[in-house]
Amino acid sequence: MDKVTKLASQRAVVIFSRSSCCFCYSVKSLFHELGVNAAVHELDEDPRGAEMEKALVKLLGRKSPVPAVFIGGKLVGSTDRIMTLHLGGNLVPLLRDAGALWL
């Protein structure tokens, strides 16, 4: 859990994902499209991935915790939440506030 929070606060946008998960790839692709330089942590490539996954499950309350997006150190949620925010036009302001975007 600490590892998760530690990593989450290192950058404006932090994404925990799995390299094999294509769904996570969509989120990554979206942030890339928005011009955000997100820090991506692949849980299956990290030695302490299983631990972090468990922590994320507790945080998110879902069976599959990835992708998990943290903006400005705070947990935003999974793909659903990101899409809702983005269509609502709220994602970009959030990113701007966190300092991930400068435009």
Partner 1 sequence: MRRRRRLTNGGLDVRPVARGRPPAWRGVAWRSLDDVAVSAERRLTAPRSQDRPFRWKEASFLCFWVDVCSNNMSSASTQFASPRKMGIFEPNHQIGMWGDSFKADSSQNTGASSIVEAEIKLDNRLEDSPRTIVGPSKKYDQEANKPTDKVLRRLAQNREAARKSRLRKKVYVQQLESSRLKLVQIEQQLDQAKQQGVYIGGNLGESTLGLSGSVNSGVTAFEMEYGHWVEEQNRQTSELRAALQAHVSDIELRMLVESALSHYDNLFHIKAIAAKSDVFYLMSGMWKTAAERFFLWIGGFRPSELLKVLSPQLDPLTEQQVISVCNLQQSSQQAEDALSQGMDKLQQNLAETLTSDSSGTSGVSDYMGQMVNAMGKLEALVSFVNQADHLRQQTLQQMYKILTVRQAARGLLALGDYFQRLRALSSLWAARPREPA
Residue 103 binds partner 1 (CB under 8 A) = no
The span of 4-12, 51-59, 68-76, 87-95 binding partner 1 (CB under 8 A) equals 87-95
- Of residues 18 through 57, those in contact with partner 1 by CB under 8 A are 20-23, 25-27, 29-30, 33-34
Considering only 12, 36, 91, 94, the residue that binds partner 1 (CB under 8 A) is 91
Task: Kindly tell me which of 2 and 45 has the beta carbon lying closer to partner 1.
Answer: 45
How many other CB atoms are found less than 10 A from the CB of residue 50? Answer: 11
Number of H helices and number of E strands within the chain? 5, 4
* CA 37 to each of CA 13, 42, 66, 70: distance values in angstroms, whole numbers, following the listed order: 7, 15, 18, 13
